Amino acid sequence: MPGARRIAIVLFNLGGPDRQEAVQPFLFNLFNDPNIIALPNPFRYLLAKLIAKRRAPVARAVYQKMGGGSPILPNTEVQARALEAALGDLGPGTEVGCFIAMRYWHPFTEEAAKAVLQWGADEIVLLPLYPQFSTTTTASSYRVWKAAARKLGLKAPQRLVCCYPAEPGFVAALADITAGAIAKARAEAPQARLRVIFSAHGLPKKIVDKGDPYVAQVEATVAATVTKLGLAADDWIIAYQSRVGPLEWVGPATDVVIEEAARAGQAIVVVPVAFVSEHSETLVELDIEYGELAHEAGAAAYVRAPTVDAHERFIAGLAGLARDALGTTAPIRPGCTRDACKGREQCAMTQAGA
């Protein structure tokens, strides 16, 4: 559209290998991130090479169970198109384009920045598909984006939505899918006690102890969701999955909580609260590995709630965050009340001096 005001929405996500040959380089990119392993080079580079080589065979087997690669990119593309449609009411003469910036595999952040420049964006909103801020996710993606934009000479005003742990649309979508999963579990095991496990990707405890607000923001997400659902305090728990390596991680561990509930004969509902699209941690770890664990340990039922994906309430929430960001000149726009990371030294807003 000639003369249109062009607004680029850049969706940050981790990415995933799209084929078996991409698994090892994807793992290298992940572990070579200084936000993941805080070692100077060449030590981080060499360690990342070693870890990627050792973990690749196991990881390839995981991705083989999903057809050979991760579905995260096509899932994110569906979210991008839905968000473009939701922002179609910004007025005549305004064109919205959603671009995907993956951190560890194609389309890389640098590719997204180049596409935004070539498209001719007048304004840019950086919108992470990580609802809860962490130095290992949003901060890493933002750091790489800024470097790419600087290198390309991308001058359009840019605003980052740093987090949205209790955004009403996100919480409504979570509550909706959780209610559906609870209904299914109760239908399968009407006499069993219900146990709702809100599962998030874990972090090494030392990262949280340094001031990363991720755990506090996960707790904010769950608090808002259980309030909306009206769940009793003893019916639910927060747990953390995907632990790797010898470090102490935040807990309790999702698999441990699942096994305990299963041995008690409970009807288990597992709800992903930090993943907004399906990928290996949901389709393999939660569905297959933890599902088998639950059934072998005697669970009355095991139901995994889907991720929010392109749920209309979630997409509406993202659209609202984008509109709010466009209405400010601040480079970082919090999608929370700051209560979820108050006092945390590595909150994005604190780091920005806000």
Please state the residue numbers annotated as binding site for Fe(2+).
201, 281
Find, among 286, 104, 132, the residue nearest to 220 by Cα.
Answer: 132
Burial call 333-352: b when 16+ CB within 10 Å, e when fewer? bbbbeeebbeebebbbbbee
Does residue 271 contact residue 196 with C-beta atoms inside 8 Å? Answer: yes
Distances (CA, A) of 211 to 129, 198, 202, 340, 345: 21, 22, 15, 12, 5
Does residue 176 contact residue 168 with C-beta atoms inside 8 Å? Answer: no
**108 backbone φψ class: left, alpha, beta (φ>0; ψ -120 to 50):** beta
Residue 315 CB contacts under 8 Å (≥ 6 apart), including other chains: 79, 82, 83, 86, 169
Pick out the residues of the known binding site: 201, 281
